[in-house]
């Protein structure tokens, strides 16, 4: 009995030892976390690192998630809204966390470059470090992370070009590089790409818009220096629900098929787009902004189903379609109709009509005297009507 008792104690002891051993962090990861801690500090008002006491198990630290004895995810900073965030730099030791699948950093004042060593984290699926002061270039090595699904370095100070290898990442679904100082062209994406969200707005990108994956649902390229046409690019993006190409130097026509995409927002303002707007069917997109372009010809009545329609500062002619007026005055789906600074010659609306308080109509600076008073945005100016010599079709 004594032998069995002793054996029983031994078995229990070994089992307990196994449990303890399972909770001990890998020494390489332990040292890497210490280096990360030394390179970052809480900003005033943040207490994220107060519980990072290395005499305890780091797997219990805030923001540290472990799988066995390896760090599998690292969420640096207090994620609560309004947290001041962190300062300092991202240490190259991050690359020694070989099991890391997720790395995130809350908004703060972390500066320096993205560690090149992150390319050693072969299991990394999620990398998000937006709204900091990170500079330098996007490391080429990130293009070798075959499991990477989300790359978000938005709202930083990153410069240089977008590595071509980033566009060919086989698992990438979200590429968010907006509000940086990126230059050069947009890289080509393979047809096999599973990209869903591409956000490159507010950079200094140039050149044309390349063929993009048909899987895209969100595309924002606004506020760059992009040139050329998009009439062969957009029709194949049949899953798009958000499209913003505004504030570029794009030109050429907009194909009718764009208005059949499942969009909730279509923003093409402040470019050099031109030609007739001829949707084939009723347009039901909630927001359509085509202002500050060079579109000409009549306004299509098929746009009456839009919620907010901005056609101002173009070269539209003829009368405003009665369907648009009916939708606006009758409190239909049309809530905003901006037509100022065109060459329109008339609108069928009674001067005594009272526009619903929920709608906005602007008709200033066309080839007609606006029959109703409707407050316009300040940038529309104060001149109601175009000079007669600019309105050869105006009959008074």
Q: What is the pLDDT of residues 48-67, one digit of tens each?
A: 999 999 999 999 999 999 99
Number of folded domains in the chain?
1
**Average pLDDT score over the chain:** 91
Q: Is residue 203 pLDDT above 80, yes or no?
A: yes
Query: What distance in Å separates the CA atoms of residue 194 and residue 192, rounded to the nearest whole number?
Result: 6
Is 333 within the bounds of a domain? Answer: yes
Beta carbons within 10 angstroms of residue 348's beta carbon? 12
Is 369 within the bounds of a domain? Answer: yes
Is 234 within the bounds of a domain? Answer: no
- Residue 116's pLDDT is what? 97
Q: What CATH number corresponds to the domain at position 296?
A: 3.80.10
Query: Are the C-beta atoms of 197 and 178 separated by less than 8 Å?
Result: no
- Residue 219's pLDDT is what? 98
Distance between alpha carbon 240 and the CA centroid of its chain, in Å?
13
Spatial neighbors of 203 by CB under 8 A, at least 6 apart, are 177, 178, 179, 180, 181, 182, 183, 223, 224
Is 356 within the bounds of a domain? Answer: yes
| CA neighbor of 177 nearest in space, from 166, 168, 193 | 166
- Residue 396's pLDDT is what? 46
Burial class (CB within 10 angstroms; exposed 0-12, middle 13-18, buried 19+) of 50: exposed
| CA neighbor of 33 nearest in space, from 48, 17, 51, 54 | 54
Query: What distance in Å separates the CA atoms of residue 278 and residue 197, rounded to the nearest whole number?
Result: 28
Query: What distance in Å separates the CA atoms of residue 391 and residue 396, rounded to the nearest whole number?
Result: 10
Is 264 within the bounds of a domain? Answer: no
Domain that holds residue 390: 275-395
Say if pTM beats, i.e. exceeds, 0.85: yes
Is 187 within the bounds of a domain? Answer: no
- Residue 352's pLDDT is what? 58
- Residue 9's pLDDT is what? 37
Query: Are the C-beta atoms of 196 and 208 separated by less than 8 Å?
Result: no
Query: Are the C-beta atoms of 314 and 296 separated by less than 8 Å?
Result: yes
Is 390 within the bounds of a domain? Answer: yes
Q: Is residue 23 pLDDT above 80, yes or no?
A: no
List pLDDT tens digits, range 305-342.
999 999 999 999 999 999 999 998 876 789 999 999 99
| CA neighbor of 54 nearest in space, from 29, 17, 91 | 29
Mean pLDDT is lowest, of 107-111, 234-238, 335-339, 391-395, for: 391-395
Is 382 within the bounds of a domain? Answer: yes
- Sign of the Cα torsion 374, 377, 378, 383 reads negative
| CA neighbor of 70 nearest in space, from 48, 49, 101 | 101
Burial class (CB within 10 angstroms; exposed 0-12, middle 13-18, buried 19+) of 48: buried
Go through 364-380 and write b for each residue having 16 or more CB atoms within 10 A of its CB, e for each that does not.
Answer: bbbbbebeeebebeeeb
Query: What distance in Å separates the CA atoms of residue 166 and residue 140, rounded to the nearest whole number?
Result: 8
Q: Per-residue confidence at 394, pLDDT binned at 50, 70, 90?
A: low
Query: What distance in Å separates the CA atoms of residue 127 and residue 319, rounded to the nearest whole number?
Result: 52
């Amino acid at each position: 009995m004594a032998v069995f008792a002793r054996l029983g104690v031994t078995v229990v002891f070994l089992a307990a030892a196994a449990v303890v051993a399972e909770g001990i962090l890998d020494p390489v990861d332990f040292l890497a976390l210490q280096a990360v801690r030394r390179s970052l500090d809480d900003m005033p008002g943040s207490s994220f690192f107060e519980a990072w006491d290395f005499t305890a198990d780091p797997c219990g630290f805030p923001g540290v998630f472990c799988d066995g004895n390896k760090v599998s995810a690292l969420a640096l900073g207090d994620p609560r809204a309004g947290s001041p965030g962190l300062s300092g730099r991202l240490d190259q030791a991050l690359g020694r966390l070989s099991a890391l699948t997720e790395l995130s950093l809350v908004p703060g004042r972390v500066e320096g470059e993205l560690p090149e060593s992150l390319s050693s984290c072969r299991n990394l699926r999620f990398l998000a470090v937006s709204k900091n002061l990170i500079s330098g270039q996007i490391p080429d090595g990130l293009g070798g992370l075959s499991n990477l699904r989300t790359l978000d370095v938005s709202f930083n100070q990153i410069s240089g070009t977008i590595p071509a290898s980033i566009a060919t990442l086989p698992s990438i679904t979200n590429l968010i590089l907006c509000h940086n100082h990126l230059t050069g062209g947009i890289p080509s994406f393979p047809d096999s790409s599973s990209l869903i969200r591409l956000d490159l707005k507010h950079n200094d990108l140039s050149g044309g818009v390349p063929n993009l994956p048909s899987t895209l649902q969100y595309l924002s390229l606004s506020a760059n220096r992009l040139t050329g046409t998009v009439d062969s690019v957009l029709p194949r993006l049949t899953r798009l629900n958000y499209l913003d190409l505004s504030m570029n130097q794009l030109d050429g026509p907009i194909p009718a098929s764009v208005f059949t995409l499942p969009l909730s927002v279509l923003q093409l303002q402040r470019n050099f787009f031109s030609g007739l707007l001829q949707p084939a069917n009723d347009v039901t997109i909630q927001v359509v902004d085509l202002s500050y372009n060079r579109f000409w010809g009549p306004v299509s009545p098929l746009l009456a189903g839009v919620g907010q329609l901005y056609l101002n500062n173009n070269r539209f002619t003829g009368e405003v379609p009665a369907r648009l007026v009916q939708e606006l005055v009758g409190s239909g789906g049309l809530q905003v109709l901006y037509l100022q600074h065109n060459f329109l010659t008339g609108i069928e609306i009674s001067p005594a009509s009272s526009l619903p308080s929920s709608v906005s109509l602007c008709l200033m600076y066309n080839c007609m005297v606006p029959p109703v008073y409707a407050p316009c945005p300040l940038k529309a100016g104060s001149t109601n009507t175009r000079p007669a010599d600019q309105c050869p079709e105006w009959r008074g």
